[in-house]
Structure 1
Amino acid sequence: MPRPTLLAGDMGGTKTLLALYDLEGETLIKRHQQRFVSADWSSLEPMLQAFVEERPKDVQAPTHGCIAVAGPVRNRQARITNLPWQLKEEDLAAAAGMQQLELVNDFGVLIYGLPHFGADQQVVLQEGSQDDGPLAILGAGTGLGMARGVRTSNGLMALSSEGGHREFAPRSDEEWQLACWLKQDLGVDRLSIERVVSGTGLGHIAHWLLQQPGAQSHPLRPVAEAWRRNMASDLPAQVSLAAEEGDPLMRHALDLWLSAYGSATGDLALQELCSGGLWVGGGTASKQRNGLQSPLFLEAMRDKGRFKDFISGLKVTAVIDPEAGLFSSACRARMLAESGGTLA
């Protein structure tokens, strides 16, 4: 009996990636991939139908699939951020002619890929032990994503989280000053972690430092002020570049950010007691690889009082594959096929 073709998707408000995979032995092999501009389509159903119908002739039609979506999934339905689309699993499966299709939050889906990432998809930040306990991942991008995974008799189960919206807890006088300023600048009464620990958060930190006395003539000050008005420029990327080139103020901004990120990573490890492994992902992981491997990040992660030894003993890994979400969706599709008895 031939093994089935699996559909994987990674869908956002701007673009959607769809791919078809099959298995060679126990290895997932991508056979076909296509990128779509999401706004060019009236809904996901006709996009899926066109993708399946126009696949290469030597690739079988998919039977099971998983699509990661930028938004919460409830009752097998999802509403996409920045698009007027209401998605239903049964409608999507019917449009693609598939037996089963599952929608999963685009950060939570990474849980399904974690045990299967290869050496080219990840880099170890801290050597340590792993067992059959819970897994966890967080990742700074536009916001701060978090998810956890638990092992069941049917394999891994991903549990999405909005932990990035927990309260930011300053650990020093400088972080307290940043938090007070940021509340006023944003006009908010409470400050979530992702306001600091995210790509956007790096921009906020730099903008704050550039308001300080002595920074009036800094070349990035007008860039930061324009970014704060309309988020048009990629200030976080310019901050990182300036730091790499030796700019002391932007180096300080990046150090503040890495330390806060490390602390948030350690907090997640405590919350989930993730003896099965801890991962760092998100859009900044590959860009900030050196920073994530630095003592600044790792020592802040480990600095958790009586649980320092526990965190120091965990294996911590960064996901650096830009298509990790697509691969993880394929891993979940494979699980669905296996649980349905399609895979021997």
Structure 2
Amino acid sequence: MAKSNDGELAFPFPILIGDIGGTNARFALLLDAFAAPKEYPIIQTAQFENIDDALQNCILDKTSVQPRSAILALAGPIEGDEVPLTNCDWVVRPREMIAKLGFEEVLLVNDFEAQALAVASLSDGDREKIGGGDEHPVASRAVLGPGTGLGVAGLVHAMHAWIPVPGEGGHIDMGPRTERDYQIWPFLEPIEGRISAEQLLCGRGIMNIYRAISAADAREATLDVPAAVTSAALTGSDAAAVETVSLFSTYLGRVAGDIAMIFMAKGGVYLAGGISQKILPALRGPEFRAAFEDKAPHGELLRQIPTYVVTHPMAALAGLAAFARMPDRFGVTSEGRHWQR
């Protein structure tokens, strides 16, 4: 990372930005600070043995403009020179990427850190409000995203900058509250003896809830993939699927309300990711906000906090692009996750 003429930190352009999840990897190229990102076709991580092969075959071999920097958002904690992804077999090795792929610099951030960067400046056209009061423009915000896993991050405004706060909040404990919860909880698949939020609020979580409902009601679980469950729920063609998405919305509301209180997110709580967009009709219903606000003795506080579904199709890339163009606007640390030639 170099200093520009006015003393601000800057990455050398062109910059490759990437959002790498457990299932899909999305990339775009920024030619300069003013150009629109050039997006590349989505890569399915299972189709390539490692990220270097994916980048070489799908990006570098298909552009005459070779990127000098890479800013990559990864699904998992970033520690050391070898960074494994949480829900995928890829291991990111920045030093090898610099040596083999020609980058001068590589910066790694958490995938939901990128989502947090995005919600700093989403327009009304890139989000849909689903309840609550008015946002406070420079108040803290939070973002949750059910996808292959459950990502959670905060966004704090301080010292005239937006500071993303990544973490592994998707692994907090979940417990039963209602009579129906107690009926289905014994049939949920735990992880090492406990039910985490991610065991319920992601793609496999949809199946976990659906199978538990079917088992509790002594029914056959006829649907076998999350997309089939959500589609059947939205059309009303399968009672267990309808209840699954209803409970999913409730559980997402509970977790979102907890995260809202942790960050005092009066700037809003944002639901990111493909699942949130797909079940948006259900999230508009009463279950999500009722669970979000059911936080006695702080119900009135939660009622005032707005909630949104992020509708931007490439929100994480938009967040990375904003940071790449104006890194001084954000308090993103490079310590321990920035490599240079």
TM bracket (short chain): 0.7 to 0.9
For 1:67, the equivalent position in structure 2 comes to 72
Asked if residue 241 in structure 1 is aligned to residue 231 in structure 2, the reply is yes
CA distance, structure 1, for counterparts of residue 241 and residue 55 of structure 2:
44
Instruction: Supply the distance in 2 between the matched residues of 1:268 and 1:63 (Cα, whole angstroms).
Output: 37
Q: CA deviation at 1:145?
A: 1.4
The residue correspondences of 1:277-292 to structure 2 (distance < 5 A) are 277-292=268-283
Q: 1:338 to 1:317 in 2, by over 3 A?
A: closer
Q: What amino acid is the match of 1:137?
A: V
Q: Which residue of 2 aligns with 1:18?
A: 27
**Structure 2 counterpart of 1:223:** 222
Name the % identity: 25
What's the secondary structure of 1:244's corresponding residue?
A: helix
Which residue matches 1:227? none
SS at match of 1:156: strand
Give the secondary structure class of the aligned counterpart of 2:312. Answer: coil
Cα 1:312/1:95, change in 2 over 3 Å: farther
Gaps in structure 2 of 5+ consecutive residues = 6-11, 331-341
The residue matched to 1:305 in structure 2 has which SS? coil
Tell me the equivalent position of 2:261.
Answer: 270
CA distance in 2, matches of 1:44, 1:254: 34
Aligned match of 1:31 in 31, 38, 54? 38
For residues 16 and 222 of structure 2, what CA distance do their matches in structure 1 show? 42
Summarize the Cα distance change of 1:191–1:47 in structure 2 as closer, same or farther, 3 Å threshold. closer
How many residues in Structure 1 have an aligned counterpart in Structure 2? 317
- Residue number in structure 2 paired with 1:159: 165
Residue number in structure 1 paired with 2:200: 196
Q: Which residue of 2 aligns with 1:140?
A: 146
More off after superposition, 322-331 vs 29-38: 29-38
The answer on whether the counterparts of 1:122 and 1:321 sit within 8 Å (CA) in structure 2 is: yes
Q: Is the 8 A contact 2:190 2:199 kept in 1?
A: no
- Equivalent residue number for residue 339 of structure 2: none
The CA distance in 1 between the partners of 2:60 and 2:242, in whole Å, is: 51
Task: Report the CA distance between 1:55 and its aligned residue.
Answer: 5.5
Structure 1: gaps of 5 or more residues: 225-232, 340-344
Aligned-CA RMSD value: 3.1
Deviation per residue, 1:24-64 (Å, 9 max, x gap)? 86xx612352544546656544654666754655xx55444
Amino acid at match of 1:202: I
- Give the counterpart letter for 1:194 in structure 2: E
Task: Please say if residues 9 and 18 of structure 1, whose CA atoms lie closer than 8 Å, have aligned partners that are also in contact.
Answer: yes
Contact preservation (8 Å) 2:70, 2:107 = yes
Residue matched to 1:260? 251
Distance 1:307 1:22, change over 3 A: farther
Of stretches 272-281 and 46-55 in structure 1, the one that deviates more from structure 2 is 46-55
2:320 to 295, 317, 329: 329
- TM-score when scaled to structure 2? 0.79
- 1:8 is aligned to 17
Residues 1:123 and 2:128 aligned together: yes
1:279 shift after superposition: 0.6
